[in-house]
Structure 1
Amino acid sequence: MPKIHIVTDSTSELNPEAIKQYDLHVVPLNIQIGGKTYLDRVDLEPKAFLELMENSPELPKSSQPAPGVFKELYDRLGQNGDQVLSIHMTGGMSGTVESARTAAELTDTDVTVVDSRYISHALAFQVLEAADMAREGKAMEEIVARLDQVREKTKLYVILDTLDNMVKGGRIGKGRALVGSFLKIKPIASLDGGEYTPVAKARSYKQVVQYLMNDFKERTQGKQVKGIGIAHAEGFNMANPLIQELEAAGFTDIKMDYTTPVISTHTGVGAFAFMFYTE
């Protein structure tokens, strides 16, 4: 029976230990800043990126890996007749999954490409579930069906601390940003359907934490919480109090890391994302 190799991209926030433990293959996105191009998490770590971004007059840019990068990996993984399951960040925010699909059509390897409709730890939820099932010898169809279930039971919120990068990126006008800054508004958005969707506004860090905890308790009542993740861009003013609330409620297994530059480019410094999934 052919082996199933799991491929993902660098926006999954997976650390080297997890990548090695689950025998994963991670393709990095490209980050352009200060006239230079870097490979995400290969020659530019998220924390170092934030420092570069704060000192850059222009908004950094990210781009998907070229189809040729994926094809080369798919060719190598499938040379013995093995299959490949390639799971990627939402197509609503990047062309990465389309690049993978193009490569899947060009390679002789049996490749299945999945749009996770998420990013960060919420993408990793699907990647790790797939890796566990592949190790157990499950068939591709069964794994893909399970990923559909995980996706439906996942929730991800993004909270901004400043609107500066949204203005630089042309996503909102300067007038709205000035009003938002004056009122100390913290926009809360979800990643429903793979796209950034505003859902609420908070006037303080405390209100943000209260909103997220109330929503978490409501959505997880009577269910098993399978995973919790927090990704941040130095957003400790909101992330740390939330972690304290979660731990007080009995949830101690929380994955936390600096977020991918693909996200922090749009959110700016001080933002964070909170995500979880249930059974």
Structure 2
Amino acid sequence: MKIVTDSGMDTAPGQLDGFDVVQVPLKLELDGKTYLSGVDIQPEEFYELLLTTPSLPITSLPSPGEFADVFRKYAAEGPILMVHISSGLSNTYQSAHSGADLVPEAEVHFIDTMTLSGAEGWQVEAAAHGAKAGWSVDQIKELVKKVRDASETIYTLPDLRYLIHGGRISHMKGLLASVLGIKPLIGVSKTDGKYFERGKSPTFPRALESIAKTITKDIPEGTKIRAQIAHTANPEGAEKLRKAMDKLFDCHWLPNSTVAPVLGAHTGRGLVGVVYARMDRYPALP
């Protein structure tokens, strides 16, 4: 079995070492140059580049033909399981489906993660564990569903220009929040896989503290949780969020991840977020 994903996923360095995962890169364009996220440009390079230009990036998908090339390459190795970024936030799902239609000899299965970034990474991680253990497609799909059901994500960011530019929040609502200096707390809905507001704060430092407090609405203080922070060139903010989380929960931390360029193109520098799950509800990985 071959696990295939996209570059809308974030994991920490080494998190997928020893696992056979193929990543199809999404694309971004900045100042007239096109990059394959995670291939031609790495996160650190991208966030440094944002400091040197007033331009805002544009993102695009792999074409059906590009997905078809990947599926054709691995068709003879058995089932292919495509674990992709939320269909509510990207048309990657549709493009991959169209690509699979071009390769009838390939047995391609799909999992809509209904999320992105680190939360998508956790689902890919689970699928990779299942594949390495020799599990069937149905067994892996069930494992990934348990991970999806158990985990949540929440993030905040200091600059809304990128979200507005990318159409991820409404222009008028985003402009109003920017003028008022409001920093939203953003989650991803498990119903439609789209962003929704989980709260808001008047300043970015307050927003970081509010993330941990917002999580207590769903998980009691002191609960053991699996957690992983992701950020866009903001290690100081990541540390502040970690301390705020540790005050309220018994956190079992995975190493931090830096958000992929193609995702950071919609947020800019400074974002900090966390993916988390109650330990007693998170499935054991084989």
Answer whether TM exceeds 0.5 for this pair: yes
Determine whether 1:188 maps to 2:203: no
Equivalent in 61, 66, 74 of residue 64 of structure 1: 61
Alpha carbons of structure 1 residues 245 and 14: separation in structure 2 relative to 1, 3 Å? same
Q: 2:45 aligns to what SS in structure 1?
A: helix
Say whether 1:26 aligns with 2:23: yes
1:75-224 correspondence runs (5 A):
75-80=72-77, 82-107=78-103, 108-169=105-166, 171-173=169-171, 177=175, 180-181=177-178, 183-192=180-189, 193-221=192-220
Task: Return 5+ residue gaps in structure 2 as ranges.
Answer: 282-286
Paired amino acid for 1:257: S
Aligned-partner Cα distance in 1 for 2:12–2:41: 14
Q: Given that residues 227 and 252 in structure 2 are in contact (C-alpha distance below 8 angstroms), is that contact kept between their aligned partners in structure 1? A: no
1:245 positional shift? 3.0
Larger proportion of helix:
1
Structure 2: which amino acid aligns with 1:103? G
Partner of residue 3 from structure 2, selected from 3, 6, 15: 6
**Aligned 8 A contact 1:208 1:238 in 2:** no
Mapped partners of 2:174, 2:135: distance in 1: 51
Q: Which residue of 2 aligns with 1:251?
A: 251
Partner SS for 2:233: coil
Q: 1:251 to 1:122 in 2, by over 3 A?
A: same
| CA distance in 2 between partners of 1:57 and 1:156 (Å) | 29
Q: 5+ unaligned residues in a row in structure 1: which ranges?
A: none
Distance 1:48 1:203 in 2: 31
Q: Which moved more, 1:40-49 or 1:248-257?
A: 248-257
Deviations 1:22-57 (A, max 9, x none): 111111111111101111011111222123234333
Q: Which moved more, 1:244-253 or 1:61-70?
A: 244-253
Partner of 2:42: 45
Would the alpha carbon gap of residues 273 and 113 (structure 1) be closer, same or farther in structure 2, given more than 3 Å must change? same
Distance 1:219 1:141 in 2: 30
Q: Distance in 2 between matches of 1:272 and 1:156?
A: 11
Contact 2:27-2:262 at 8 Å conserved across structures: no
Say if 1:250 and 1:277 are closer, same or farther in 2 by CA, change over 3 A.
Answer: closer
Counterpart Cα distance in 1 of 2:68 and 2:179: 49
Moved more, 137-146 or 229-238: 229-238
State the alpha-carbon separation in 1 of the partners of residues 205 and 12 from structure 2.
30
Q: Is contact 2:188-2:196 (8 Å) kept?
A: yes
Letter aligned with residue 230 of structure 1: I
**Residues 159 and 187 of structure 1 are in contact (CA less than 8 Å); yes or no, is this contact kept in structure 2?**
yes
Shift of 1:73: 1.7
TM-score, normalised with respect to structure 2? 0.85
Q: Which amino acid aligns with 2:80?
A: V
Tell me by how many angstroms 1:237 deviates. Answer: 4.8
**Matched residue, 1:277:** 277
CA distance in 2, matches of 1:161, 1:152: 29
Name the structure 1 match of 2:260. Answer: 260
Using the TM superposition, name which of 91-100 and 112-121 deviates more: 91-100
| Sequence identity (%) | 27
Q: How many residues align?
A: 273
